[in-house]
Structure 1
Amino acid sequence: MTCQLPIDCLNEIFEYLEEDSHTLYSCLLVNHLWCEISVRILWRYIWNSKEIYSIKMPTSILNTLIACLPNESKKLLHENKIFISTPTSKPPLFNYAAFCKVLSIDYIYRLVNSRSLKDGNHLVVDEIVKMFAKQIYSLKKLVYCNEQQYVKFSLPYFPGISDLSELHCSSSLSSNFFYWLSQLCHNLQSISISFYCDASDELKELISLQNNLKSLTLSSDEGSWKDIVPILTKHSHTITRLRLYSDNRDLPYSFISLFTNLQEFVFSYMDGSIFEDFKMLQYVKFSKLQSLNIPYQCPKPEYVMKFLENNGKNLKKFHTDESNKGLSLSIPNFCPNLKSLFVIFYDGESDVLKNIFIKCQYLESIKIWCGDGFLSEKEVFETVANYSSDNFCELKIYNESCTHVISSKDLESFFINWNNRISKKLLTLTIIKENDIYAYLHNNDENMKIIEKYKNLGIVRINIITYEDESREEEDDYYFYN
């Protein structure tokens, strides 16, 4: 006699598997009920899935969407001599589009464009997006950034748009698009804007009308966000996450001092010459700041050190591409409660790393560059094993060399020393490679035997990812599909 769990219990259990897509895929094969529950969860945030960047998944998604199109859309494509194969001639088991909570018009365009349909690309995109517009009754996230991917759907007839909480868009989209959004969406909690031109009045109105804006991302390569700064100040007390990406030296950023409730701050400029103005921020106190990320170019180290002196006590995460010994030495003094750290150490600075581990007892994760001119893996392994605290559990190593291979002796010695620690936490060792990611470990048979041995003993977990993948994880909700 079999026992079937109630549907509400299964739903609750499967919700915990939302981030574990591989397990959910296996649940699809159990029975129809399990399949239906799993499919709903898998398709809910289908565009956020890591597997979307694989080779096979995009093709299968497009084929499934084509199969789900209403008959009038299929007839229209057929009349225009557009033929895209579907998984089966039978009708789809589920109305997949209705399950989605995220709509990425940019990614749909990329999927269709990859099939080289030439003049038919826009028509296919239009029909797929119109299907989503009619089927999604509670849209949470919309990604629409490239003005060249203009689609013909009407926001007033998009029933789920009023529930929108997250918007990723380009300033160059039509003013009519922003007008209707401003009429229908007043509860956006997250807005990301890529500026290719100055902000229109309709875009300004959309930002102004939001009731509880918490996250703001501004990216500027050619356009300017300076015209919307007065509007942004209206939300200075509610915004807790601010991310600025720019190469435009004419943009103002003194307004940042008004955002006193910031919890996360990303300050990314490719041209370091404009950082002189950062000295205005070094004395500002952000009492709730927990995450500070300054990738690429960094302001003068003395400015950052003063900023950390004023704001480092509550920091849980600090990442910067800076390689200044004075700044590195100041980190354990000003940021004793860090949980995650990335800072560059040069060759011979293992004593600085040691000091950080000794004084930052809450540190759980660190990313370190190794290779020519930087610390060797052997130095890093020895320092981590001997001086990291009981809380430490994740080591990320980045090495841009295509030929370098970690010494088998150093690798096994590290695993043995880690296992001999009083703390028996599972260690996650993440290898980040610019190119040829497998050469670093996998081209050495002895290394692979060592890794398998200590994985089976439950001592270590190994991740091997590209620099691009790691960057994507760092900027988890910064999707500008250009």
Structure 2
Amino acid sequence: MFMNQISSLKVLDFKHSNSGDIKFIYLPEAKIHLENLTELKCGSNICSEFFYQMTQLCHNMQSLTIVFESQISNWLTDLISSQNNLKIVILKHYNNYNDKITTSLIKHSLTLTKLALYKCNITLSFIAMFKNLQELHIDLYFDYSAFDQLQYVYFSQLKILRINYIFSTGTGIDMLLHSVCKFLEINGKNLTELYILNMYYYSLLMNLTLAKLCPNLRILYSNIREKKSLKQILNYCQYLEIIELCYKDWQSGKTLFKILANYSQKYFHTLILDCYFRMQINYLLQDLEEFSKNWQNHNVSYRSFSLIIFTSNHCIIESKINIEDIKIAIDKYIKLGIIKKFEIKLEKNFGLT
């Protein structure tokens, strides 16, 4: 019945492991409907018959997302190898130290444009073969030397870089910072988007490196907490349009807003603030009052900007402020033409999955 209702299936999200759920791939019309499949999201432990049949039917997938479970079914690597024009690969929770999956990706070394490794505890050296990557997303686990394998690799097409640090302590962080800085020396000039997440042991040197080596950034998320760093970044990154900061990193939000008012360049149009701690919302509303005055004085052309706040239900409850009350308070700045658009979001998504 399902197959009769569609003319050509483009996206399939299939994470079940029950062999009874895969009967549809044996239907006579499956070949017709699945041969044009362009995107597959699946779990690694789906029964082997599923991956075998998909290997026979689908050869034109462009995007493949695999969530790894305790088992990796047979024929999964064959399915990867059998694709003709694979462009996007997203691996989640891949903790096996064998090279079956990475070996199957070798065929796609020139076609792959996006690679994302979410919570994958594997060696990174294989990434170097994807010379035409435009997007690279990596979760770095407890091995601080892991990024050393990429520090001298040049990706001529790389535009978007996301590095998520998943560490429990700051031990060895200097080694990691050094390798990331080396990577940016080679690849930073081409980057238009840079996300550095959960970097609690951030250094002034790293921020200054960002400013000097990534001059063409349009979007930046980073743990910037020093006045000097933020000023340097706003001065050097002349094309910066969107900047995302963690509000708790600034003891005085007034200082943050004053720097933004005085140093942001003409392309800047969106400020995103992470406010996940008690009372931050309250302080933010207070700080905006002074910011509005600085912004009007600094901007002769009277540019408006968008403000996006990421927070949580818990934070809203703790701050004892209703979301609608926040919007009413912000509406004052919208009417003044300072804030063009305001959003408050309770979920975090970098648009990478």
TM range (shorter): 0.7 to 0.9
Which protein has the larger Cα radius of gyration, Structure 1 or Structure 2?
A: 1
> Is the CA contact (8 Å cut-off) linking 1:368 and 1:396 kept in structure 2?
yes
Q: CA deviation at 1:297?
A: 2.8
1:278 aligns with 2:154: no
Equivalent pair of 2:93/2:118 in contact (CA under 8 Å): yes
Separation in structure 2 between the aligned mates of residue 446 and residue 434 of structure 1, nearest angstrom: 16
State the match for 1:233 in structure 2.
106
Matched to 2:92, the amino acid is S
Task: Report if the CA contact (8 A) 2:124-2:149 is conserved.
Answer: no
Contact 1:218 1:225 in 2 (8 A): no
In 1, Cα distance between equivalents of 2:62 and 2:93: 21
Task: Sort the Cα spacing of 1:166 and 1:426 in 2 relative to 1 into closer, same or farther, 3 A.
Answer: farther
Q: For residues 2-17 of structure 1, what are the structure 2 equivalents within 5 Å? A: none
TM-score by length of 1: 0.65
Name the aligned partner's letter for residue 228 of structure 1.
I
The separation in 2 between residues aligned to 1:189 and 1:389, in whole angstroms, is 38
Tell me which residue corresponds to 1:429: 307
1:263 maps to which residue?
Answer: 134
- Greater Cα offset, 300-309 or 195-204: 195-204
In structure 2, C-alpha distance between the alignment counterparts of 1:431 and 1:149, rounded to whole Å: 44
Deviation at 1:275, TM superposition (A): 3.3
Please list every run of 5 or more consecutive structure 2 residues that lacks an aligned counterpart in the other structure. Answer: 168-172
Aligned-pair CA distance for 1:357: 0.3
Q: Residue 337 of structure 1 contacts residue 363 of structure 1 at CA under 8 Å; is this kept in 2? A: yes
Query: Is 1:164 matched with 2:37?
Result: yes
Indicate yes or no: 2:332 matched with 1:332: no
For residues 222 and 252 of structure 1, do their structure 2 counterparts lie closer, same or farther at Cα, with a shift above 3 Å needed? closer
Question: Structure 1 residues 172, 444: closer, same or farther in 2, change over 3 A?
Answer: closer
Q: CA deviation at 1:240?
A: 0.7
For the aligned residue pairs, the C-alpha RMSD in angstroms reads 2.5
Change beyond 3 A, Cα 1:149–1:336:
farther
2:170 aligns to what? none
Q: Which residue of structure 1 aligns with residue 24 of structure 2?
A: 154
Q: CA deviation at 1:402?
A: 2.4
Q: Are the equivalent residues in 1 in contact too, given 2:189–2:216 (CA < 8 A)?
A: yes
For the residues of structure 2 that align with 1:147 and 1:376, how far apart are their CA atoms? Answer: 52
In 1, Cα distance between equivalents of 2:348 and 2:75: 36
Deviation, 1:314, is 0.4
Question: Comparing both chains, which one has the higher relative contact order based on Cα–Cα distances under 8 Å and sequence gaps of 6 or more?
Answer: 2
C-alpha distance in 1, partners of 2:288/2:19? Answer: 49
1:198-240 Cα shifts (integer Å, max 9, x gaps): 5444111111111111011112255556212222111010001
Matched-pair identity in %? 36
Contact 2:277 2:315 in 1 (8 A): no
Superposed, which structure 2 residues align to 1:385-404 within 5 Å?
A: 385-404=261-280
Tell me the SS of whatever aligns to 1:361: coil
The structure carrying a bigger strand percent of its residues is 2
Cα distance 1:134–1:382, how it changes in 2: closer, same or farther (>3 A)?
Answer: same
Query: What is the CA–CA distance in structure 2 between the aligned matches of 1:287 and 1:254, rounded to whole Å?
Result: 17
Deviation of the 1:436 alpha carbon: 3.2
The answer (yes or no) to whether the contact 1:208–1:232 under 8 Å persists in 2 is yes
How far 1:457 sits from its partner (Å)?
4.2
Equivalent residues in 2 for 1:306-321, closer than 5 Å:
306-321=182-197
Opposite residue 131 of structure 2, the aligned amino acid is T
Q: Which runs of 5+ in 1 are unaligned?
A: 1-130
- Contact 1:268 1:297 (8 Å CA) reproduced: yes
Change in CA separation of 1:233 and 1:219 when aligned onto 2, cut-off 3 Å: same
Q: Determine if the alignment matches structure 1 residue 406 to structure 2 residue 283.
A: yes
The whole-number CA distance in structure 1 between the counterparts of 2:2 and 2:98 is 31
1:212 pairs with 2:85: yes
- Counterpart Cα distance in 2 of 1:400 and 1:150: 44
Alignment partner of 2:256: what SS?
helix
What one-letter code is carried by the residue in structure 1 that aligns with 2:58? C
CA contact (8 A) 1:257 1:281 kept: yes
Deviations 1:340-389 (Å, cap 9, x if unpaired)? 1111123xx11210110011010011111122x54532122111111111
Distance 1:132 1:435 in 2: 39
SS of 2:165's partner is: coil
User: How has the CA–CA distance of structure 1 residues 150 and 403 changed in structure 2, closer, same or farther, with 3 Å as cutoff?
Assistant: farther
In 1: Cα distance, 2:277 partner to 2:25 partner: 49
Aligned residue pairs total 336
* Number of the residue aligned with 2:7: 137
